[in-house]
Amino acid sequence: MHHTFRLIIDCPDQVGLVAGVSQFLADHNASILEASHHTDLQTGRFFMRHEISTDSINLSYDRFIEAFTPLANHFQMEWKLTDSSKKQRVALLASLESHCLVDILHRWHTGELHCDIPCIIGNHPQLKQFADWYKVPFHWVDFKTLGKETAFKQIEVLLEEYKIDLTVLARFMQILPDHLCKKLAGKVINIHHSFLPSFAGAKPYQQAYERGVKLIGATCHYVTSDLDEGPIIEQSVKRISHSDSANDMVRKGKDCEVNALAHGVRYHLEDRVIIHRNKTVVFA
């Protein structure tokens, strides 16, 4: 994996912005490996993602931030610079359904996902077998015994102890409390087993079957206090027919779930997602 700095910018659209950033990079001998721009005409916001080779640029990470800050202030930027060599720490939360959990673990194990997974948290002890196979510490949080409030306090403590950067709900069938949604805003990704905004909430495949849809899907999105209404990162769909039962939809929908979640997690890890209001700009 090429060592890069990733420059992410969200600011008011204005004349001279791209030229100013380009001149700054040129002045410091920066080689741009990937450049993505987008203007939201409705809100007048400009979004940028540049991937910059560290082999060429004559600035360290700290010196880049120091040198770029005056330009960022001039253009009223909300911005960040990340170092691709620094792996984010990802916690996986799951319930009885294991397909999304195992898929993420496999992609991490094979190097497709550039991150560390220091812990898996489950509300069923059966998931420990997968954690053991991948040699990841497993924590069983018993919601039935503890109750939801105490259980989520325990999860919150674990996330803090492991210094987690991103929490992935890999079919974790529990609703996060409001305070945790706000505390971890933009840092919790969920996979919902429907093509949102259709069929939010419980049993979406059964809802889809009863409605007689011809497409089913899955939605990877950020978690907010509003159930299944957070900014969407990625979606996947599959065609079905009148002959498919609700169980057939569940089986076929799992393909959509693993693909949408894996792509969404990778986009986040690679700083390809910028949240804008309740939408996202995704430089895939």
Closest to 163 (Cα-Cα) out of 222, 86, 271 = 86
Paired tokens of 229: 């209404």
For residue 268, which of 225, 230, 241 has the smallest C-alpha distance? Answer: 230
Q: How many Å apart are CA 153 and CA 178, to the nearest integer?
A: 12
Check the CA dihedral 255-219-43-52 and report its sign: negative
CA dihedral 52, 57, 60, 64 (to 10 degrees): -70
Q: Which of 184, 192, 252 is nearest to 227 (CA)?
A: 192
Please give the backbone phi and psi of residue 203, each rounded to the nearest 5 degrees, phi first: 50, 55
Tokens encoding 169? 């709900």
DSSP readout, 40-95? ETTTTEEEEEEEEETTT-S--HHHHHHHHHHHHHHTT-EEEEEETTSPEEEEEEE-
The number of beta carbons lying within 10 Å of the beta carbon of residue 36 is 16
Nearest alpha carbon to residue 118 among 139, 141, 98: 139
Q: Which two tokens stand for residue 40?
A: 């939201």
Reported residue count of the chain is 284
Which residues are the active-site residues? 228
CA geometry: angle 13, 263, 78, nearest 5 deg = 25
- Would you give the DSSP letter of residue 226? S
